[in-house]
Amino acid sequence: MSADSRGLGVACGAALLAVAAPLFAGGPMPAASLYSLKTTTLAGQPADLGQYAGKVAVVVNVASQCGFTPQYAGLEALYEEMKDEGVVVLGFPSNDFGGQEPGTAQEIGAFCRKNYGVTFPMFSKLVTKAGPDQSPIYAFLGRGGQLPAWNFSKYVVGRDGQVAAFFPSDVTPESKQLRDAIEAALAR
C-alpha cells in the first residue's frame, strides 16, 4: 500500500467519524448484535451475552405477578427440550407493565425456582420501554420497531445475534408459530 493510499484511507476514516459522531453524541454506539452486549445475572454477577453466540436465543421479558406468569413452565420445558440443539431461553424481569415484577432479584429467583423449576438463565431487572432508562438490550431488540407491549413478549434471536422474529405475550412457548421460528433460526 502506498503512502498516498494510506493517507486517503486515514482521511476517509476521519471524514466518516466526523459525519457519524453527531449521530452517537447522545450515547454509546448501538450494538451490532445481542451477543455483543453485557448485563448482570439475577444473582448480581457480570454476564457477557457473547457466551450465547452461535445459539438461538428466545429472549423474554418476564414478571412474577402477571396473568402470563404460568408461561414460565412452558419456557422451562422449551429450554429443557431444545438446549441440546443449541437453543437457550434468556429471561429478563421487568416491572414496566402493571408493576407486576416488584420483587428483589432474590425474591424473583426464589419464586421462579419454587413455582416453575426455572433453570434457564435469568438476568437482573431492566427497562424494556423506550426512553432514557431503557436497557441497551431492549434498545437493540427493538431496533426493528417492535418492543414489548406487555410481559412475556418473545424475541427469537439467531445464531448471529440478530432478531429473527418477535411474538407478543399471548403467543405461548408451546405455540406452533414460535416453534417454527426457532426451527427456522436453527436451520440457518
Q: Annotated catalytic sites, by residue?
A: 115
CA-wise closest residue to 94 among 164, 162, 142, 56: 142
Task: Give the pairing type, strands 56-62 and 87-93.
Answer: parallel
Percent composition of the chain: helix, strand, coil (DSSP 3-state, to 5): 40, 15, 40
Task: Give the angle subtended at the CA of 116 by the CAs of 114 and 118, to the nearest 5°.
Answer: 90
Q: Which residue has the cell 455483543?
A: 36
CA-wise closest residue to 128 among 112, 149, 108: 149
φ, ψ dihedrals at 46, nearest 5°:
-60, 140
Q: How far apart are CA 161 and CA 141, in angstroms?
A: 10
Q: How far apart are CA 75 and CA 7, in angstroms?
A: 54
